[in-house]
């Protein structure tokens, strides 16, 4: 062999040069590795539609970003895990995405209890965590120092002020009652609604709780009716909220229901029946009505990628798509500002974002060390179901 005829010293130099050349040739391939974005959300069960909406919003944003070359010379890859709306399974999924998949940013927590279970992990592991749905105030207002949790979604304490304002304006509510899911999300809103009422010199005539698997809420609702409630503030996801509506039907009690956005997350009209249309609930975005150029483009991209989407009514729930889309673009900007995929650098990158012309709004300095929520009280729209479509109430 030719190598056998080369002197030892020369052969050693040749091998060293070859190794260096091989490393140099390998570097571009290594640099081309994808930046993994993790998603923990409900992909099965009653809230699966919301999990799919978040997936679609992320996917459209990632397609856009990758078509433009990605960030830092690398393209994005979405890696999903199903938490089945269960905190324990959410924790397992989050750990797998952080430690095994080595994601750069973790998205998720459709349910506030799931998000609250994940928060201590991401803060301990210096993993940027972006919430495109869970609205519990404590998700971003946590004790992390530093805090790695950001959100492009509703925030309970802000939503609760909007719920009271809407109930007074629309239904002339003077004696509201609360019917709340018995979990951390319900507790977050009990605190927020009580504070919102107190600020106006009011208080609820009653506060009732219900469980996720309750099929009869008549006893709780009866107590609220007997207390003189002229409206109900409801907080709960698809399944339990639908049981509230069906229980009201069994009682024959027609009372205005002003709700957080839980009913938007899945098969609410199917489960709640005809009276589902009587529930007015908050959203951050609607594809109905006149759209911005970005909204028109987004709807076109959704139709092109997903055959089941023929029009705005098929983008359900719209908030999952819109929140996730804007959140992904903001996360990409944070990575760009960081100049790396180091978790703490990305956290600080969020603070360096100057402006982003998003789907929901134009974001200007959306995050700061004292504010990890990009959506505020000016960014909500009120909706209800009409023929299984979520429409702005003003479009009756």
pLDDT in tens, 87-104: 999 999 999 999 999 999
Of 262, 283, 304, the domain-final residue: 283
Domain annotation covers residue 262 = yes
The domain in which residue 109 lies consists of 35-154+290-377
Q: Does residue 370 carry a pLDDT above 60? A: yes
Look at the chain and report how many structural domains it folds into: 2
Domain annotation covers residue 60 = yes
> Which residues fall within 8 angstroms of residue 308, CB to CB, at 6 or more apart?
314
What is the C-alpha to C-alpha distance for residues 310 and 171, in angstroms, rounded to an integer?
A: 34
339 phi, psi to nearest 5 deg: 75, 10
Looking at the fold, whether 322 and 254 belong to one and the same domain comes out as no
What is the C-alpha to C-alpha distance for residues 323 and 376, in angstroms, rounded to an integer?
A: 13
- Tokens 């939503």 — which residue? 159
Q: Does residue 294 carry a pLDDT above 70? A: yes
Q: What is the CATH number of the domain that holds 143?
A: 3.40.50.2300
Q: Does residue 33 carry a pLDDT above 90? A: yes
Looking at the fold, whether 141 and 220 belong to one and the same domain comes out as no
Looking at the fold, whether 296 and 358 belong to one and the same domain comes out as yes
Looking at the fold, whether 140 and 248 belong to one and the same domain comes out as no
Evaluate whether 111 touches 42 at the Cβ level (below 8 Å): yes
Task: Kindly report whether the peptide bond that precedes residue 283 is cis, defined as omega within 30 degrees of 0.
Answer: no
The model's pLDDT over 194-232, given as tens digits with 9 standing for 90+, comes to 999 999 999 999 999 999 889 899 999 999 999 999 999
Looking at the fold, whether 338 and 298 belong to one and the same domain comes out as yes
Under the banding of pLDDT at 50, 70 and 90, the label for residue 21 is: very low
Under the banding of pLDDT at 50, 70 and 90, the label for residue 174 is: very high
Of 283, 305, 337, the domain-final residue: 283
Of 245, 261, 283, the domain-final residue: 283
Nearest to 239 by CA among 274, 270, 209, 260: 270
Global pTM reads 0.81
What is the C-alpha to C-alpha distance for residues 216 and 229, in angstroms, rounded to an integer?
A: 19
Domain annotation covers residue 8 = no
Looking at the fold, whether 162 and 278 belong to one and the same domain comes out as yes
Looking at the fold, whether 162 and 246 belong to one and the same domain comes out as yes
The CA-based diameter of the chain, rounded to the nearest angstrom, is 101
Q: How far is CA 138 from the centre of its chain?
A: 14
Looking at the fold, whether 310 and 327 belong to one and the same domain comes out as yes
Looking at the fold, whether 117 and 129 belong to one and the same domain comes out as yes
Please give the structure tokens belonging to residue 223: 């107590």
Q: Does residue 119 carry a pLDDT above 90? A: yes
Please give the structure tokens belonging to residue 383: 């909706």
Question: What is the reported pLDDT for 378?
Answer: 82
What is the C-alpha to C-alpha distance for residues 108 and 42, in angstroms, rounded to an integer?
A: 9
The 3 state secondary structure assigned to the chain is CHHHHCCHHHHHHHHHHHHHHHHHHHHHHHHCCCEEEEEEECCCCCCHHHHHHHHHHHHHHHHHHHHCCCECCECEEEEEEECCCCHHHHHHHHHHHHHHCCCCEEEECCCHHHHHHHHHHHHHHCCCEEECCCCCHHHHCCCCCCCCEEECCCCHHHHHHHHHHHHHHHHCCCCEEEEEECCHHHHHHHHHHHHHHHHCCCCCCEEEEECCCCCCCHHHHHHHHHCCCCEEEEECCHHHHHHHHHHHHHHCCCCCEEECCHHHHCCHHHHHCHHHHHEEEEECCCCCCCCCHHHHHHHHHHHHHCCCCCCHHHCCCHHHHHHHHHHHHHHHHHHHHHCCCCHHHHHHHHHCCCEEECCCCEEECCCECCECECCCHHHCEEEEEECCEEEEHHHC
Domain annotation covers residue 10 = no
What is the C-alpha to C-alpha distance for residues 144 and 75, in angstroms, rounded to an integer?
A: 30
Domain annotation covers residue 30 = no
Domain annotation covers residue 86 = yes
Looking at the fold, whether 150 and 295 belong to one and the same domain comes out as yes
Looking at the fold, whether 279 and 166 belong to one and the same domain comes out as yes
Question: What is the reported pLDDT for 394?
Answer: 64
Domain annotation covers residue 29 = no
Domain annotation covers residue 11 = no
Looking at the fold, whether 188 and 83 belong to one and the same domain comes out as no
Under the banding of pLDDT at 50, 70 and 90, the label for residue 151 is: very high
């Amino acid at each position: 062999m030719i190598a056998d005829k080369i002197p030892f010293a020369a052969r050693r130099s040749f091998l060293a040069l070859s190794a260096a050349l091989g490393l140099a040739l390998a570097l571009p391939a290594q640099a081309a590795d994808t930046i993994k974005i993790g998603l923990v959300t409900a992909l099965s069960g009653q809230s699966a539609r919301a999990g799919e909406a978040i997936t679609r919003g992320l996917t459209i944003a990632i397609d856009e970003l990758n078509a433009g070359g990605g960030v830092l010379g690398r393209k994005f890859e979405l890696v999903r895990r199903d938490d089945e709306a269960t905190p324990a399974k959410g924790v397992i999924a989050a750990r797998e995405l952080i430690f095994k998949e080595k994601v750069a940013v973790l998205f998720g927590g459709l349910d506030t209890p799931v998000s609250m279970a994940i928060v201590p992990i991401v803060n301990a592991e210096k993993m940027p965590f972006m919430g495109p749905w869970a609205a519990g105030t404590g998700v971003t207002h946590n004790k992390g120092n530093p805090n790695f949790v950001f959100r492009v979604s509703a925030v309970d304490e802000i939503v609760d002020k909007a719920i009271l304002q809407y109930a007074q304006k629309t239904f002339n509510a003077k004696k509201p009652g609360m019917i709340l899911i018995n979990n951390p999300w319900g507790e977050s809103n009990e605190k927020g609604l009580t504070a919102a009422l107190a600020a106006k010199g009011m208080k609820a005539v009653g506060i009732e709780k219900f469980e996720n698997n309750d099929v009869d809420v008549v006893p709780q609702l009866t107590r609220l009716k007997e207390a003189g409630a002229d409206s109900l503030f409801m907080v709960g996801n698809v399944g339990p909220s639908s049981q509230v509506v069906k229980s009201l039907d069994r009682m024959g009690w027609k009372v205005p229901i002003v709700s957080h956005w839980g009913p938007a997350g899945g098969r609410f009209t199917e489960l709640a029946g005809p009276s589902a249309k009587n529930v007015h609930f908050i959203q951050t975005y609607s594809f109905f009505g006149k759209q911005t150029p970005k909204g028109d483009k987004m709807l076109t991209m959704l139709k092109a990628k997903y055959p089941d989407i023929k029009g705005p009514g098929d983008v359900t729930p719209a908030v999952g798509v819109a929140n996730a889309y804007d959140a992904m673009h903001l996360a990409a900007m944070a990575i760009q500002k960081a100049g790396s995929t180091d978790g703490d650098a990305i956290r600080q990158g969020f603070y360096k974002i100057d402006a982003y012309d998003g789907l929901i709004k134009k974001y200007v300095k959306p995050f700061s060390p004292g504010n990890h929520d990009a959506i505020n009280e000016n960014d909500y729209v009120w909706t209800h179901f009409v023929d299984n479509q979520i429409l702005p109430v003003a479009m009756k």
